A = this chain, B = another copy of it.
Amino acid sequence: MEKLYVIKVGGNIIDDPLALSAFLKDFASVYEKKILVHGGGKLATKLADQLGVPQKLIEGRRITDAETLKLITMVYAGYINKNIVVQLQAHSCQAIGICGADGNLILAHKRNHPTIDYGYVGDIDRVSADRFIQLLTLGFIPVIAPLTHDGKGSLLNTNADTIAQEISKSMSASFDVTLIYSFEKSGVLTNADDDRTVIDNINPESYRELKEKKLIFAGMIPKLDNAFRALDHGVKQVIVGKAEHLRQLIVNAAGTKITNET
């Protein structure tokens, strides 16, 4: 099967123009079919502060009310997405910047939670793999902003890691999919403050052990759970690593490789 890279870029990279620019140059040079999913960065929060839009928290969870959704749509689907596209185009990469509402690519529903109303936050129901395949076949490189829709007229704020995972899963019937989570760290670390403590390989067994011994930073657990869900649904491998090492991550020469292999 043909290779496909689904690459998520997030963390501080989104807010660091030089790091983002270097990453995009490397992304453009990836020869195989590829999809880029980007995170939201900190600009939306900054803009909310400037405009006096209060950030609502319930039980410590961030809520996406209508005003916040508006800001997120401007920043994620507008500013960040188009700035990525225009840079990739300058490297002759045929980027097309879209979100889950475009072409009905990613259908979701408003999160249903027994005690917390998250507002306009989406949990994914379905990825239109056919539509992604059509775009890839035409030579377009999809650049996905972390928004989905409910099919009834509402955009929904959706976690970019989860979007990358769901796209990877849906494409695994047609491609040999590698999912890459890239950010400012060198991989999954045993000491979150020490970039030299990268764990080279994680499989389900070692993951259980690392969690028991509390050797994994709590913030990494959702990302790794996402990674294993992807592997359980046909994705070949998941690689976690530094955005500026993208060329090495692609060839398994850096970062943490996560597989179901024992």
Contact = CB atoms under 8 A, between A and B. Distances in A.
A168 to B, nearest CB: 21
Interface residues of A, number: 39
A223 interface: no
A190 interface: no
Given A94-B104, A103-B96, A151 B89 contact: yes
Contacts of A83: 73, 155
Given A75-B78, A77-B82, A78-B79, A89 B70 contact: no
Interface string A90-108: 1000111111011110000
Interface string A47-67: 100110000000000000000
Nearest to A107: B89
A68 to B, nearest CB: 13
Given A98-B97, A98-B98, A152 B90 contact: yes
Contacts of A89: 101, 104, 149, 151, 153
Interface of A: 47, 50-51, 70, 73-79, 81-83, 85-87, 89-90, 94-99, 101-104, 134, 138, 140, 147, 149, 151-155
Given A74-B78, A75-B78, A98-B102, 17 more contacts: A51-B51, A70-B79, A74-B75, A77-B81, A78-B78, A82-B99, A82-B101, A82-B102, A86-B153, A86-B154, A87-B153, A89-B101, A89-B151, A90-B151, A90-B153, A95-B103, A97-B102
